[in-house]
Amino acid sequence: MAQVLVTGSTEGLGLAAARSLLDDGHRVIVHARDAQRAGALREVADRAAGVVLGDLARADQTRSLAEQVNALGPLDAVIHNAGMYLDARRVATPEGHSRVLAVNVLAPYLLTCLLRRPRRLVYVTSAAHRDAEPNLEDADWTSRSWDGVRAYAESKLLLTTLAFAVARRWPDVLSNAVHPGWVPTRMGGPTAPHALHLGHVTQAWLAVSEDEAARTTGGYWFHQKLARPAPAALDESFQEQVLETLARLTGQPFTP
């Protein structure tokens, strides 16, 4: 039995992953942005090992979230599921960051640094990361004209790169990235072509399975099969640049 944190578990793929893990007998810590959103957890909250709260667009609440989780005991795995899609304009967080960057990248980075180190890390990314240019000069979109689609793709490239950087830097941790497919969640929309039930299977499997394939690291997965990520994400020099950029933007050095 594993203890697993699933971020963004009030709906969609996060809720599906939490339910699946609970049904299989694992201890699951579920996460909601606030108490009102936690009400959507319903029966999952009653079965969970804990319910933690924190708005991942806010650095102070992300740090508080890490403290709440650490107080619940050691983790075996974290599924970094929480994310957001398109902002029509650049929405600034209290720290002045792009909200898309903060939720999709800065928060997972902070949690990676601040949580007790688990045995497995799973970062839910997107195939859109392949459409992004590996350019960190204005990762926070402070000088460029806002492009929501491009900002989202860039955030997922940074997240995928983070997963591979962690795999290389922490050889005792299994760190992988997962593209769940275009599935009919609130983010994916009702016309998404992939089956909803396939969207959460891979991340839950990587978090707890003892299958030989699931006990590997540094992979980019799609429906329990290895796929090819953007070449930049595999570049060690770019990985180091990403870690340095995230450390600078958050004020949190990467844990050696």
Residue whose structure tokens are 């392949």:
130
Q: Find the catalytic residue in 85, 109, 123, 156.
A: 156
Q: Find the catalytic residue in 109, 123, 152, 220.
A: 152
Is position 225 annotated as part of the catalytic site? no
Q: Which residues are CB-contacts of 82 (< 8 A; sequence separation ≥ 6)?
A: 7, 8, 14, 31, 56, 103, 107, 108
Radius of gyration, alpha carbons of the chain: 17
Could you tell me the CA-to-CA distances from 234 to 51, 131, 157, 183, 228 in Å, in that order?
35, 15, 11, 26, 10
Task: Please tell me the distance from the alpha carbon of residue 161 to that of residue 163, in angstroms, as a whole number.
Answer: 5
Please answer whether residues 30 and 48 qualify as being in contact, where contact means their C-beta atoms are separated by less than 8 angstroms: yes
Please report the DSSP string for 15-39 in residue order: HHHHHHHHHTT-EEEEEESSHHHHG
The residues that are catalytic are 152, 156
